[in-house]
Amino acid sequence: MSHYKHVMVAIDGSDESARIVERAVALASGAKLSVIQVFETLVGNYTYELNMGDFEKAQHEFEAEVAKSTRAMLKAKFPNIHAEDVHFTRGKAAYEIKRLAESSKVDLLVIGSHGQGAVKAAVLGSTANAVLHGIHCDVFTIRV
């Protein structure tokens, strides 16, 4: 049995997410398991062709589609992860991951070790490195 009481896994909705969650489940070994997926802004700023309302709508539709896909994957492959333990948030990934980990009293964070492209790099890539600085708990990185 693990000495961890609360394990959180950070994913980005990529194909590797299921493998990262699988490793987190194994590491949790009876501990509570939470999942976080952070959405960063799709575009640094909007263009003249895309007004702010359209930009916000596109961002929301993107997030809804990815969250739907993530929920389906978790339900199919990890039925013991409860919906209330799956968190979707928007912001800077490293900050949001650390914020939720601390407020939820997480003692182990599991995260992937490299990015999957400009849009999918919401959690992985430089975020894994940024999370390491200033986080209060152990961090386990998965090479993907």
What is the tally of structural domains in the chain?
A: 1
- CA 75 – CA 124 distance, rounded (Å): 22
pLDDT reported for residue 52? 65
Arithmetic mean of pLDDT, 71-82: 96
7 close to 32: Cβ distance less than 8 angstroms: yes
- If you average pLDDT over every residue of the chain, what do you get? 86
Domain enclosing residue 61, as ranges: 6-142
40 close to 91: Cβ distance less than 8 angstroms: yes
- CA 75 – CA 82 distance, rounded (Å): 9
Has residue 138 been placed in a domain?
yes
pLDDT reported for residue 31? 94
- CA 20 – CA 12 distance, rounded (Å): 10
User: Largest Cα–Cα distance of the chain, in whole Å?
Assistant: 56
Has residue 110 been placed in a domain?
yes
Amino acid letter for position 77: K
Has residue 49 been placed in a domain?
yes
Arithmetic mean of pLDDT, 46-50: 58
Has residue 1 been placed in a domain?
no
- More confident of the two residues 52 and 109: 109
pLDDT reported for residue 143? 86
Of 112, 88, 124, 104, the residue nearest 4 (C-alpha): 104
- Read off the CATH number of the domain in which 126 is found: 3.40.50.620
The answer, yes or no, to whether residue 120 has pLDDT greater than 80, is: no
Has residue 25 been placed in a domain?
yes
Arithmetic mean of pLDDT, 64-85: 95
Has residue 85 been placed in a domain?
yes
* pTM over the 0.85 mark: no
Arithmetic mean of pLDDT, 32-43: 88
- CA 82 – CA 7 distance, rounded (Å): 14
